[in-house]
Structure 1
Amino acid sequence: MKKTDYETNKLEDALKFTPEKLGCSEFKKDYNLKFAYLTGGMYKGIASKEMVVKMGKAGMMGFFGTGGLELSQIKEAIEYFQKELSPEQTYGLNFLHNMNNPEGEEKMIDLFLSYGVKNIEAAAFISITPALVKYRAKGLKRDSQGNVIGVNRIIAKVSRGEVAEVFLNSAPERILNKLLAEKKITWEEADLLKVIPMADDICVEADSAGHTDGGVAYTLMSSIIKLRDEIMEKYKYHKKVRIGAAGGIGTPAAVAASFVMGADFITTGSINQCTVEAATSNSVKNLLQKINVQDTEYAPAGDMFEIGAKVQVVKKGIFFPARANKLYELYRKHNSLDEIDEKIKDQIQEKFFKRSFEEVYEEIKSFYPLQEIEKAERNPKHKMALIFRWYFGYTTGLALNGTEECKVDYQVHCGPALGAFNQWVKGTSLENWQERHVDEIAVKLMNGAATLLNQYYKDYI
């Protein structure tokens, strides 16, 4: 039967998408957000204090990039958020897994707890750690219906199903027992932890900047949504664990596709590094605003160098990816610096490091723990790893400081989403990064996604 004009108009109104309607309403209510849109934390405070405040004031949430910062710098940022944002406006802090320093993780969590930080983005975790469980435990209680509720929310950023699974499950028994023995949680907190998942929300990170498994959003989203549904059914959690999308989001079409695939929220990353608010050098931003989708490449991750983990970085006009991969290849093939060909060693010291291995080693002695240096003295391969890892911190610093004479060695984490964004805004006021602001970009992307969805579904009415 043919629809009347009245019925068609009514259906069109019902299907009318707006930016405010996109995403999960419960997610937006829980975090007090206008839009289901987050900006992810970027290392060394590139996701800056100013970026987080901009997002909070615009009715969204940004995560401050705590990785690689001192506790005093993180403390200063928290105090800034609590001064600049009202209690109704939301902010979060990135919590980056530190596999070599569990004590450092706990100190950061203690800082969060002391300042009442309610939202953290757990990133680069492959398993649950005691620090995460401690954070989750504090503030848990039962509501009038007997359901366990908490005040400390964890959004887990994952790129693999097995990692999503550990966050969808409750806290591991062995960690509960450890924390109980150390009197860091109470018996009541341990009991409450047993009936809730470790994460309130899961952010599925497809091919992206920084640490990445190069996953494909179409397959990752569907598989992890299915996994969530299975675990929800198994444990009968009273509250739904929401699934968000990240990685590759740089255009309205990508935003729309994420929500169509079932995302409850989205998180952007690379596109925010090329904005006024990003705390990186103008030199890097000038470089970033010109890249296209094919101008990134995978390189070893400095913090997980020995295990071969990868990060995605800019390659256009940059030697860093090739040089970093060369260092990993040499580490994999040799057991000490002495085994490497003399010509190659000279090239590394003169071209890559611009100083001798001995000078690098003397420098790293000042910031590595004593046990690491003692291990290096006993194990030549470990010493080689520490010296090679120095290059990754060095190249990050060059980029952050905008050292023009060393531009070819910049390490700039970036995914192809920024290339797509650059093409989308070409010829508009946003072509120049000096006109790019994180909150305005977010609104334009959400508006554009809503428009696309309205156009698409109108054809099917």
Structure 2
Amino acid sequence: MALDAVTARGDRLGSASFRREHGVRLAYVAGAMAKGIASPELVARMARAGLLSWYGAGGQRLAAIRSAVRRIRAAVGPAAPWGVNLLHPIGMPALEEAMVDLLLEEGVRSVEAAAYIEVTPALVRYRLSGLRCGADGTPCAPNKVLGKASRLEVAAQFMGPAPPAIVAALADAGRITPEEAALAARLPLADDICAEADSGGHTDRRVALVLLPAMQALRDREARRHGFARPPRVGLAGGLGTPAALAAAFAMGADFVLTGSINQCTVEASTSDAVKDLLALAGPQDTDFAPAGDMFEIGARVQVLRRGLLFSARANRLYEIWRRHDSLEEVPAETLRQIERQYFGRPVAEVWAETIDHYAAAAPDILAAAEANPKQKLAMILRWYWIHANRLAMTGDTVRRTDWQVHCGPAMGAFNEWARGTSFEDWRARHVDLIGDALMDAAAGLLAAREGRQGG
């Protein structure tokens, strides 16, 4: 049905099955932002508006996550659409297992699975728990998974069934039931795949015009290969900050869109007002790339805000220091003093003591490995700067403002340009659900106008 430019509405864009199965008004979601920046308030506001989002559980302690889940549920009721980010903690499988235990205990029915390189037993257990055969004979999974991927080889794992070897091991250990194990091969691991193009935070700097069609073609091949009655839907994230960008995504056949950076500069986002003031001034060119602190050794990258900040330059220098030296003792004394004075603001000994305290509780095996491997120990010491820079930004520490780490993509600057002269120009009027409605309706209007021009 053709859209009319005057009456065009965002609720006619994207996949109808996405809206129906998630119980939402729009094929529009707000992605999780780690450290609770995608806050309980943000998630609750989206849910009350009939829109999907996920709490930013990455980097949070389990007690804080459990508290946030209960706050959200109390605020929105049992039937509202919402979920929690399940961020793969590389090298810490026990933490991932504990996170899945929490999700299942609390009855969280939707996760945004991010940073996965390969499928893990914990993710499979979450997906298969409660799986049963529906009245029509098709498998019915109460736990929904949206898998974010920027690489086809990772997306293919989400598009296929849970690996048989993992399913068998879980069944043998009594972690899933025989019925759940028997049905596992009949549905994909994820209900939805989000093709993550060049985005704020962790990014492979993919081009949306290349990535989305490739993911769609892969989905079609995998659906034929596995014979799924309900293949995963494929949506797009990365660079989505204006109606034109959303319209382009839907014109390419995206089943849904996912926004990220623009939601950090809203009333509901749990970061400092000072960061939001800076984000609201950003232009499309005001971002840069730095090594990712949580994947330091493999050279993964994050996209961050550059305007008025030195984080990206300093993070890149620390990474080069780690590449050139095999131990803390090899770092020249003058370089070490500069790091302590300008980057850390404290002695290296204090940084290492804090690191020991954290890993002794969270991952003692990693700490033991670092004690035996001087280069790994150096990486863990330098990585502290990323943690510190994130804390400084979230608390709005103006004394160390130049060190703020603020994950951000060019979509933030594009949104600011679009918002200029509107009610959204002041971030204090930016509410996450109102932004979603405005972007989707405006995108629908653009598509309708294009159809009208083509028809004319």
Check whether TM > 0.5.
yes
1:54-99 Cα deviation digits (max 9, x unpaired): 1111111111100111111111111122211133321111110011
- Distance between the aligned counterparts of 2:340 and 2:68, measured in 1? 37
SS of match in other structure, 1:408: helix
The Cα of 1:290 is off from its aligned counterpart by 0.4
Q: Which moved more, 1:10-19 or 1:406-415?
A: 10-19
Of residues 255-264 and 173-182 in structure 1, the stretch that sits farther from structure 2 once superposed is 173-182
Query: Which of 291, 316, 320 is 2:311 aligned to?
Result: 320
- Residues in 1 aligned to 2:49 and 2:135: alpha-carbon distance in whole angstroms: 33
Match of 1:403 among 397, 403, 410: 397
Aligned to 2:185: 194
Residue 218 of structure 2 aligns to a residue in which SS? helix
Distance 2:50 2:78 in 1: 12
Partner of 2:199: 208
Counterpart pick for 1:44 among 30, 35, 43: 35
Alignment of 1:308 onto 2:302: no
Aligned partner of 1:446 among 420, 440, 451? 440
Matches within 5 A, 1:31-430: 31-369=22-360, 370-430=364-424
Find the aligned partners of 2:194 and 2:366 in 1 and give their Cα distance: 34
In structure 2, the residue matched to 1:7 is: none
Secondary structure (helix, strand or coil) at the match of 1:459 reads: helix
**Cα distance, 1:156 vs structure 2:** 0.3
Report the secondary structure of 1:366's partner residue.
helix
Partner of 1:6: none
Equivalent residue of 2:236, what SS?
strand
Shift in Å, 1:113: 0.9
Measured in 2, the distance between the counterparts of 1:86 and 1:360 equals: 43
Structure 1 pair 11–280 and aligned structure 2 pair: CA distance change class (3 A): closer
CA displacement, residues 319-351 of structure 1 (integer Å, 9 cap, x when unaligned): 110111111111112111222222222211111
Secondary structure of the corresponding residue to residue 311 of structure 1: strand
Give the secondary-structure state (helix, strand or coil) at the position aligned to 1:249.
Answer: coil
Contact 2:291 2:302 (C-alpha < 8 Å) held by counterparts: yes
Q: TM-score, normalised by structure 2?
A: 0.96
Match of 1:3 in 2: none
Q: Give the counterpart letter for 2:423 in structure 1.
A: S
Does structure 1 retain, via aligned residues, the 8 Å contact 2:132–2:179? Answer: no
**Which structure 2 residue ranges, 5 or more long, are not aligned?**
none
Q: Count matched residues.
A: 452
Could you give the per-residue CA deviations for residues 386-425 of structure 1, whole angstroms, max 9, x where no partner exists? Answer: 1011111111000011100000000000000000000111
Residue type at the aligned position of 1:235: H
Residues 12 and 282 (structure 1), Cα distance of their counterparts in 2 relative to 1, 3 Å cut: closer
- Asked if the contact 1:16/1:454 (under 8 Å) is kept, the reply is no
**Could you say what secondary structure the match of 2:84 adopts?**
strand
DSSP 3-state at the match of 2:358 = coil
Rounded to whole Å, the distance in 1 between the matches of 2:2 and 2:336 is: 70
Which whole-Å CA distance do the structure 1 matches of 2:37 and 2:354 have between them? 25
**TM-score normalised to the size of structure 1?**
0.95
User: Shift in Å at residue 180 of structure 1?
Assistant: 2.3
By how many angstroms is 1:205 displaced? 0.8
**1:338-376 CA distance string (max 9 Å, x none):** 222222222111111111211211121111133333322
Tell me which of the two structures has the higher relative contact order, counting C-alpha pairs closer than 8 angstroms and 6 or more residues apart.
Answer: 2
CA distance in 2, matches of 1:96, 1:255: 25
Distance 1:422 1:14 in 2: 24
Distance 1:458 1:28 in 2: 26
What do residues 180-234 of structure 1 show as CA deviations (whole Å, max 9, x unaligned)? 2321112221111112111011011100011110001000000000000011111
Letter in 2 for 1:105: E
Structure 1 contact 330–340 (Cα < 8 Å) conserved? yes
Structure 1 residues 385 and 12 mapped into 2: Cα distance closer, same or farther (>3 Å)?
Answer: closer
SS of alignment partner, residue 35 of structure 1: coil
**Which amino acid is the alignment partner of residue 432 of structure 1?**
D
Q: 2: CA distance between counterparts of 1:211 and 1:376?
A: 24
The 2-side partners of 1:11 and 1:444 are apart by 20
Query: C-alpha offsets along residues 135-174 of structure 1, whole Å, 9 cap, x if unaligned?
Result: 1111111123321111100000111111100111111122
Q: Which amino acid is 1:221 matched to? A: L
Deviation at 1:124, TM superposition (A): 0.6
> What 5-or-longer segments of structure 1 have no aligned partner?
1-9
Report if aligned partners of 1:67, 1:95 keep a CA contact under 8 Å in 2.
yes
| Cα distance change, pair 357–62 in 1 and its aligned pair in 2 (3 A) | same
1:365 is paired with a residue whose SS is helix
Aligned to 2:428: 434
Residues 285-343 of structure 1 deviation map (CA, whole Å, 9 limit, x = unaligned): 11100010111111111111111111110111111101111111111121112222222
